[in-house]
Amino acid sequence: MTTRTRLSALATTAALAASGGLLTATPAAAAVTCASPLWKAEFYANSTFTGTPKLTSCDSAIAENYGSGDPAGGRLPRDNFSVRWSISRDFGSGGPFTFTAEAQDGIRVHLDGVRRIDLWKNVTTTQKKTVNLTVPAGRHTISVYYAAWTGAANVRFAYTPVTSATADKVRPLAPGTVSAWYDWADTLKTTVAWGANKEMDLAGYSVYRRLSTSTAWTRISGTTPLTSRTYTDSPPPTGQEYVYEVRARDKAGNESAGSTDQTVRSADRTGPAAPSGLVVDTGARTNALSWRAVPDAVRYEVEAADRATGPYALLTPVTTPSHQDMTSAEGVPRYYRVRAFDASGNPSAYSATASGDRVDRTPPPPPTGLNSTVEIGATTVYWRAPDGFGQDYNNGGTYRVYRSPGTTLDPAALVRVTCDAEGSGFADADGHCRDLGMTAGTSYSYAVTAVDAAGNESALSTPLTVRTGDRVAPGPVTGVTATPRADGVLVRWNASTADDLDVAPHAYRVWTGAPQADGSVKWLASTACGGGGTLEPLADLCGGLPDGETYVYAVVAKDRWSNTLPPSDPSVVKVTATELDVRPSVPVTTAWGLGSLGHSTRTGAPNQPSINWTCATTVAACETVTGYRMSRWNEATKTYEPQHTGLLPLSAAGTPTWWTDTAALPGHTYFYVLQALRDDGGVVGTYTWDTVYEDRV
């Protein structure tokens, strides 16, 4: 039995044409072009594909069963004939494909001229083969060669994409020729259209959208791929730009990159957000409205009503988020609401309502910067006005001063202070108050409030603790020691426990006393000690030249009211110390009649021992002086040693010569000899001097 699924005889050409089918057959002499994806079939009356084809047709598939006969039409023999099918088509992004071939007798399959299946032999049964391969992206040609030698003849071939997600990892190509347009006049919708994708395993398309100001895409066409190539979207009518793109999806679930972006702008039919945070401030005896600015708003409308439920009437349009209404009566509530408008004139919803009655109930901020001046029997507290209080003060505002006993402000024990007449007036918005009659030597805590012209009182200021003055000297200082050093006597002591001690460095006085033969002490001025510098707060350096004399030392504390114990008070701790004797053992006699000299006798870092002198022009001996030598006593060698190489040069007439001991170290007493010399080395004049170089660190 002969089965023919493809008509190829010339006699059937007219019938095929009349039927309107895809299959066409044309004599070999005529040129045949088959539109993709139809196969072009060429029939040969031999098995070698030689000569001119006897017949050419366009086939939608390769699936023939000739049985033991010949292809229809009578132009080919029953045995030893061949057919060549070829197709060129676009495979899109390519990917994995399955080629399936079966034939009796021979079949060969080529892809772009490369043989992929080869079953080329005369057989008595149908032979089959399946090949999996990857087809690159783009256009490719498949050629199928079939030969029937003897006996039954049949042939089939198919190529199909692999759609398994585990096997197909190739993304489809992006759709091309995408366009988008917006219907401004009627529907306010966007229509997106695009060209067909070339993929053989296409599942469909997805449409994505984003704001032009964003990079985040949203799929708007649903989870199921579209099979049509148009989509209609309703973007929010906000007047914003929206960007669209289309992506293809294959049956394995792979999604393409996005198509070219298409941008449309929607109509603006959406009003801005409703104003929020509407408040009415009556602090200045006006209904001062304010609210948070609304993005995209170009103006606002303020509406007012005598009741919360309305009816509301337009009060005024404004361009800023604030308005002052002084049209209502004081003490009568008035209700307000606000809405915003954008540049297109779209209104927002109304804000929540707020009300005001022009009655000032807002207290001012509290005063700041409390401080005091304390006397014996009086304390003056002063402060800075809070921000913006000047106008309130000028219109009748004032301050109230409160105090409670103790070092912590006690709200339950607050007493309002009646300021002394001398300090009760306030020269400007800042204020002060002179408080009299407190107990001497007692701690009080003060706080001040501001009261505006409407009688609203602020919160209490940050408290200030004050210790009132007295006439009681601090108690004796303990832990007094006196240690002789090469630069004086170092006196140390323990800190006083008095709670009203004066500020450093005036909190202590160190006294030096000379023992008398009758056992009494003659107290010298307290300036016999250094009195300052960079010594620690509980130490001082006393004495002049360390020459072995014995002195008595006493330390007394001084409070802020200048109360202090005298050093002779029996309760004051006294210590005795004998100075070191650091004087040179080799005496040198001063014989200087050449002019004036000046030098430091007591100094401290960074001021090193220094001296200057002048050789007077009226002294004849000065004319013979050619230079000077400065020597310093070395206790280790028991000699005076020169402090420079050669001689110190002369200065211009009438100009002092200066010399500083740059090698001196703090904490020592230095002894020097200055000599004026002649050319022959003879000494014209000699001067001895010394400096206590204190270590006050």
Which domains, from first to last, does the chain contain?
10-161 (2.60.120.260), 179-265 (2.60.40.10), 279-356 (2.60.40.10), 368-467 (2.60.40.10), 481-578 (2.60.40.10), 597-694 (2.60.40.10)
Report the first-to-last Cα separation within the chain, whole angstroms. Answer: 127
Q: What are the residues facing 686 on neighbouring strands?
A: 591, 675
Contacts for 194 with CB less than 8 Å, ≥ 6 apart? 175, 176, 177, 178, 179, 205, 229, 230, 246, 259
Outline where DSSP puts E strands in 8-80: 24-27, 39-44, 55-59, 62-67
- Give the span between the Cα atoms of 450 and 635, in whole angstroms: 72
For the entire predicted model, the pTM comes to 0.49
> What distance in Å separates the CA atoms of residue 239 and residue 341, rounded to the nearest whole number?
14
Question: What is the secondary structure of 435-497 as a DSSP string?
Answer: EE-PPTT-EEEEEEEEE-TT-PBPPPPPPEEEEPP-S-PPPPP---EEEEETTEEEEE-PPP-
Instruction: Tell me what pLDDT residue 428 has.
Output: 56
Question: Using one digit for the tens of pLDDT, what is the confidence trace for 216-261?
Answer: 999 999 999 999 999 999 999 988 999 999 999 999 999 999 999 9
Contact by Cβ (8 Å): 614, 656 = yes
Residue 561 in contact with residue 659, Cβ under 8 Å?
no
**Contact assessment for residue 470 and residue 438, using Cβ atoms and an 8 Å cutoff:** no
Q: What is the CA radius of gyration of the chain?
A: 57
Nearest by Cα to 94 from 246, 245, 254, 228: 254
> To which H or E segment does residue 540 belong?
strand 539-542
Residue 413: DSSP 8-state: G
Specify the pLDDT at position 7: 36
Q: Which two tokens stand for residue 612?
A: 């200057």
Dihedral Cα 22, 26, 28, 32, nearest 10 deg: -50
Instruction: State how far the Cα of 294 lies from the Cα of 276, in Å rounded to an integer.
Output: 8
pLDDT tens figures, 394-429: 888 999 999 999 999 999 999 999 998 654 445 457
What distance in Å separates the CA atoms of residue 156 and residue 585, rounded to the nearest whole number? 134
Closest CA to 135 of 172, 93, 79: 93
Half-sphere exposure of 77 (CA within 13 A, CB side): 13
Give pLDDT < 50 ranges for the chain: 1-25, 29, 423-425, 427
Task: Give residue for tokens 């399936």.
Answer: 100
Say if residues 126 and 154 touch (Cβ distance below 8 Å): yes
216 contacts 210 by C-beta, under 8 angstroms:
yes
Q: How many residues does this entry show for the chain?
A: 697
> What was the pLDDT predicted at 27?
55
Nearest to 90 by CA among 169, 172, 174, 200: 200
